[in-house]
Structure 1
Amino acid sequence: MEKSSDTLLYSRIREKDKDALEYLYDRYEKILFSFLYKMTQDRDLAEEALQEVFIKIWRGVGEYDDSKGKFASWLFRMAQNSAIDLIRKRKKPTVPLDEVAEMPSGESSVEQTAEWQEEKEHIQAAVSQLSAEQQEMIQLFYFKGHTHEKIAELCGLPLGTVKSRIRLALSKLKKTLHGMQERGAIDE
């Protein structure tokens, strides 16, 4: 399948195109799993949340609206919500990025562990390039699972400022990770 925009793939998935779903999954699986694993610190939980995201997309749960933001932001938010729901069911806390433990060695092969470490380093490097305010927003929103409203309350900021900082941070992260991928630092 030729390289397609996320919104085009999403439209095709809405028409029950299995190839489009597979292509979208291949495009986001690694980064979403890494994000979910950091959030849950549980490989099984991260895999379950990842699966939930793509099942919801296939079933048309929670429609994407391009007027409300970028597809990748919507996808990560959907992943975060799926993980939070599963965490609440299991009553396990989320963990901040700087406290994320290494993947347990008994649960994966050496190659998977090396790949996980490499992905973790790429994401941490990208996050470290954000401003302190943006890092705090990413930390509170994605890794601690707070709502926009709760972040605004915690930081004493207007809700619009919180949303803008998160959107800007995600945009910068996307550009940074894309640049790393173009330079060959990240495999597709």
Structure 2
Amino acid sequence: MDPTSPDTTRDLFADLVAAIAAGRDRAAFVKLFEHFAPRVKSYLMRLGCQAAEADELAQESLLAVWQKAATFDRRQSAVSTWLFTIARNKRIDAIRRARRPELDPEDPALVPATPEQADQILQAAQSARQLHTAIAGLPEDQRELLVLAFFQEKSHSDIAVATGLPLGTVKSRIRLAMQRLRAVIEER
């Protein structure tokens, strides 16, 4: 039998994994590592990893072989197939981690807003009532334009087209309405 034949090499690697599984044979692991580490690193670099990342993932892959040697079944696949599958999966996991960075608990977007105090809520409600009362007290032509501008968010030009009023008239009525509202609110 030729010692360099694929079947002999395949059996040798399967025997090394079996030795690792049976008794955590360090010498068997060193042989396996020396043979596969550079090949797995090259494979990972072909998949797009930088050298440092490929080196780290290759080490993680071979560490997985050390830890999971008992799960290897030589009837299912060759050691190389099993190991390169582990390496590919480690690469996929690394990509997923990179796309989903760790959450920063101090990120302002994740920190809940401080709840409003009861007196602030009451003051806001009173201010809103005052504003609604003041708006209701405006002349109809000013109130209508104010509602269109601020509550329906229409531009002055759109209001002029919708009402058939000249643009200057729309602007002056909205300005007058704002002055009246300011005077009423400052009065209270």
TM-score normalised by the shorter chain: which range applies?
A: 0.3 to 0.5
Q: Which has the higher contact order (CA 8 A, sep 6+)?
A: 1
Q: TM-score, normalised to structure 1's length? A: 0.44
